[in-house]
Structure 1
Amino acid sequence: MAATIAFDIQNDRRGDIRAILARSGSAGHPHVQSLLLPQARLHDLTDAVHAVCAVHGNHPSMIDYAMARGIQIETLPWLIQSSNAFAHERAFLANLTSAAGPLPSTPGQAQTDAALTQLRQTLEMLANSDRRGCATGAVCALILDWRTIRQLLDQAARRFGLSAPVNQLPEPLLDMTEEEAATLGLARARGFGATQLLVQHRVLWDLLEARASARRG
């Protein structure tokens, strides 16, 4: 266990977002895996669509906050492209949420609403961080992890009779220049931002898994 933890810390310090995603991305969460099965329960898919919309369906998005903050100015063209593409994802989410219908009856809805609000606020704080590289790492992780989330949304669209648009999000900024790589603070900030984004997504899936269990209980 100690060797694994040390390896994870080294990846975070190097800003190795691919390795961080492989360790903590949504694709490895059991609830996400269950939602991607053809026999996934419609109530569970509906709940997931509403929750993802509650976290990522608002404007401004965390990408918009990072763009407006402009701490790492050299990333601005990429952030603008990412923001424009994510606007299409928000529109898809809105249509999908409407097609999914009302939330399934689940105990503890008020607590869920509060948890989703807190989660969204945490992502906004990451995007507004004054630490150079933190928002870049978080947005990179979002773009990568969104590929898995988009598989889930596409699955829901098929079940609810919608056509899913093409995901237009650009490639994340994974590679750093030699000068950036030598700046330990920047690499650490990127790793921190990516890790914290993925932690919040895991919190989301844990919450939805608990809600699915409560509905069946």
Structure 2
Amino acid sequence: MDASILIAEDDADIRDLLRLYLEGEGFQVLEAGDGATALRIAREQSPSMAILDIMMPEMNGFELTRALRKYSNIPILILSAKSQDNDKILGLNLGADDYIAKPFNPVEIVARVKAQLRRAERTGGSVLTVRDLSLDTASFQLTKNGQPILLTPMEYKILAMLMRSPGRIFTKIQLYEGAIGTYFEGDDNTMMVHISKLREKIEDDPKNPRHIITVRGLGYKIEK
């Protein structure tokens, strides 16, 4: 593979472990021991994806995610010892695509990296239109009534799935596997956060959504 993965982690042992597994799968690995260095490397070398620890010197993972999202839409995986829901939600809200708590299985990290990159590589030239929403799958741009709406990569993947099949009900697992590629136990909350953020961006009243509808006990659909 030609893809390069940026690892921002202040623990050298963890960086070494991730590098071993990722290079074993053919990825090029870029490393940084603090957030500021990671941001500089990202600007200079444009990695295909980033794996970011939360607790780092200079600039933490949340701050780094926010900085990267100002100019880049590369997939971001948050890796942290913190497993509380509020930390996970904050990372996803800032634009991260996925979140794994330590201790982790490096094989799972590799699987998630591959899945994110597969989804990021999907291209097409069609424009999906559902009511007042238009999603250009070539430029990854969403507009509502002609006004642009910025999406994170994960939000784009979820919305594209829904808009390709308006009226169809997707379970959380189907959405997650369609956007990421592999479902892992405990990923339900991650999908709920992404749906919530999408509603904040596309709904006039996110508490009373008219586009992305919850079908109780089943999942979600986008109204035709």
**Coarse TM-score class (shorter-chain normalised):** under 0.3
Q: Which has the higher contact order (CA 8 A, sep 6+)?
A: 1
Point out the structure with the larger strand share: 2
